[in-house]
C-alpha cells in the first residue's frame, strides 16, 4: 500500500482513485459491522463499574504529549431470566427478611452510555515515562422492563441476589450522570517495538442511587482501579500491532446494602493491521479484532446471618461463586484530518454467573 501511494503521489487523478478506494474499504467495513450487530443474538448489560470494551485497538499505548477529548458511545441490551426475586432468606430472632434470591423470571434492559473522556499527556517525565492524567464523565440512559436493573447483582449459575425486594412488573426509564472515573496516575513508555502504560484511578459513586428505587443509573458503590497495558509492534514500521490492557478492580461496600462485591480483573485486547494513506483527509486505517474478558478473583462478602440451614447454604454459595465473561469481535479505526473515529462490536461467550450477549461501541477523539 505504501509503495503504491508513493508511485501515485504526484498525479492528482491517481490521488482521487485512492480517495475512492479508501471510501470503498471504509464503507464495506462499516456495513459488515452493522450487519453483525443487527442480526446477532441478544445481549447483556455491563458486568461491573468498569465499562468493558472502552479502549479498543492499540488501547495499551499512552497518547502522545498533548490534551485530548474522546467521546465513547456504547449500547447494551440485556435480556434473560436472572432478574426476578422469587424467594427470600430470613435472619435474626424475629426471622425478618435479610436478602432475596433470584431463581427465575425475565427482564430486559437497554442501556446507552456516553463517556466524555479528557486525557492530558504532560511533558513531565517520571522514570523515563511521560506523566498523564485522565477524567471520564459518563452519562447513562436506561430503559428497563420486567425486573431488570443496573445495580450490581450477586449471581450464581441458577440465580441472582438483591439486597431487598422490589417490584417485578412494569417498566422504568431513567437518564442521568453515572459514576465518574478519575485517573491521576498514567505513565507511558515508548520503545522501538513496544509501548507500555501503568495507571491508577478511582471510580467515584457520583451516579444517582436510591437503595429503594427499582432502577438506578449509579451502581451504588465506589471502586479502585490499577492498570497495566502494552502494545507490541512486530515490524519496524508499526503496521502490525497487538495490544493488551488489564486492570485490577477493588470494590467498596454497596451503599445501604449488606454486601461487598469481590475483586475483578477486566482484561482487554486488540490485534490490528495499519494502512497508511498519503491523503489530505484520510490519514490511516486500522482493521482488526478486539475482545475482552473479566474474571472475579475474590469471594463476595455478605454481612447477613440466615436462621435456617438452607439459608446458610445459599449464602455460602453466593459468597463463593465467581463470575467470568469473554467477548470478541471486529473493529476499525480511521484517522482523518478531523480526528480519530472508531467502531467496534463484541459478541460475548463463556459466561459464568453473569448474563451474556452483545455490545456496540463508537467513539471519536481529537
Q: Give the tens place of pLDDT for each residue, 56-77.
A: 999 999 999 999 999 999 998 7
The pTM (predicted TM-score) of the whole model is: 0.80
Distance CA(107)–CA(84), nearest Å, equals 8
Share of the chain above pLDDT 70, in %: 72
- For domain 2-365, say whether CATH 3.40.50.2020 is its number: no
Q: What is the pLDDT of residue 13?
A: 52
Q: What is the pLDDT of residue 11?
A: 46
Q: Give the tens place of pLDDT for each residue, 99-155.
A: 444 433 456 777 899 999 999 999 999 999 999 999 999 999 888 775 555 555 554
Distance CA(219)–CA(359), nearest Å, equals 19
Q: What is the pLDDT of residue 111?
A: 83
Q: What is the pLDDT of residue 208?
A: 84
Contacts of 328 (CB under 8 A, 6+ apart): 289, 290, 291, 346, 347, 349
Q: What is the pLDDT of residue 153?
A: 55
Return mean pLDDT, the chain. Answer: 79
> From residue 82, how far is each of 11, 156, 271, 294 by CA, in Å?
61, 9, 34, 19
pLDDT band at 37 (very low <50, low <70, confident <90, very high): very low
| Domain assignments of the chain as residue spans, ordered by start | 2-365
Q: What is the pLDDT of residue 133?
A: 97
Q: Give the tens place of pLDDT for each residue, 207-228.
A: 888 877 777 788 889 999 999 9
Share of the chain above pLDDT 90, in %: 51
pLDDT band at 287 (very low <50, low <70, confident <90, very high): very high
pLDDT band at 20 (very low <50, low <70, confident <90, very high): low
Mean pLDDT of 230-253: 97
pLDDT band at 233 (very low <50, low <70, confident <90, very high): very high
State the Cα torsion 12-14-15-18 to the nearest 10°.
Answer: 170
Q: What is the pLDDT of residue 218?
A: 83
Ranges of H-type helices in the chain:
2-8, 12-39, 309-320
Mean pLDDT of 320-335: 93
Q: Hey, what's the cell of 256? A: 445501604
Q: What is the pLDDT of residue 166?
A: 39
Distance CA(345)–CA(361), nearest Å, equals 6
Q: Is 70 exceeded by the pLDDT of residue 88?
A: no
Amino acid at each position: 500500500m505504501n509503495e503504491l501511494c508513493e508511485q501515485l503521489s504526484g498525479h492528482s487523478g491517481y490521488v482521487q482513485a485512492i480517495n475512492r478506494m479508501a471510501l470503498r474499504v471504509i464503507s464495506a467495513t462499516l456495513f459488515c459491522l452493522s450487519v453483525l450487530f443487527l442480526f446477532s443474538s441478544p445481549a447483556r448489560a455491563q458486568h461491573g463499574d468498569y465499562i468493558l470494551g472502552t479502549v479498543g485497538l492499540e488501547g495499551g499505548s499512552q497518547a502522545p504529549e498533548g490534551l485530548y477529548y474522546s467521546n465513547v458511545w456504547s449500547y447494551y441490551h440485556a435480556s434473560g431470566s436472572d432478574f426476578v426475586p422469587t424467594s427470600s432468606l430470613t435472619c435474626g430472632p424475629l426471622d425478618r427478611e435479610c436478602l432475596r434470591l433470584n431463581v427465575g423470571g425475565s427482564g430486559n434492559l437497554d442501556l446507552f452510555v456516553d463517556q466524555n473522556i479528557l486525557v492530558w499527556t504532560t511533558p513531565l517525565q517520571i522514570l523515563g515515562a511521560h506523566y498523564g492524567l485522565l477524567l471520564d464523565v459518563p452519562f447513562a440512559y436506561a430503559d428497563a422492563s420486567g425486573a431488570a436493573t443496573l445495580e450490581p447483582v450477586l449471581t450464581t449459575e441458577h440465580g441472582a441476589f438483591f439486597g431487598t425486594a422490589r417490584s417485578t412488573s412494569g417498566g422504568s426509564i431513567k437518564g442521568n450522570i453515572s459514576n465518574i472515573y478519575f485517573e491521576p496516575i498514567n505513565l507511558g513508555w515508548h520503545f522501538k517495538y513496544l509501548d507500555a502504560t501503568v495507571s491508577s484511578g478511582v471510580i467515584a459513586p457520583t451516579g444517582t442511587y436510591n437503595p429503594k428505587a427499582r432502577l438506578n443509573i449509579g451502581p451504588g458503590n465506589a471502586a479502585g482501579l490499577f492498570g497495566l497495558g502494552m502494545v507490541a509492534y512486530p515490524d519496524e514500521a508499526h503496521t502490525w500491532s497487538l495490544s493488551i490492557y488489564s486492570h485490577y478492580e477493588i470494590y467498596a461496600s454497596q451503599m445501604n446494602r449488606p454486601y461487598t462485591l469481590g475483586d475483578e480483573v477486566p482484561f482487554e485486547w486488540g490485534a490490528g493491521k495499519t494502512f497508511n494513506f498519503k491523503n489530505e483527509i484520510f490519514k490511516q486505517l486500522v482493521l482488526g479484532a478486539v475482545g475482552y474478558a473479566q474474571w472475579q478473583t475474590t469471594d463476595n462478602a455478605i454481612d447477613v446471618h440466615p436462621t435456617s440451614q438452607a439459608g446458610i447454604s445459599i449464602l455460602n454459595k453466593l459468597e463463593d461463586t465467581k463470575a467470568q465473561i469473554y467477548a470478541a469481535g471486529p473493529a476499525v479505526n480511521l484517522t482523518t484530518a478531523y480526528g480519530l473515529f472508531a467502531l467496534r462490536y463484541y459478541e460475548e461467550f463463556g459466561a459464568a454467573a453473569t448474563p451474556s450477549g452483545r455490545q456496540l461501541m463508537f467513539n471519536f477523539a481529537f
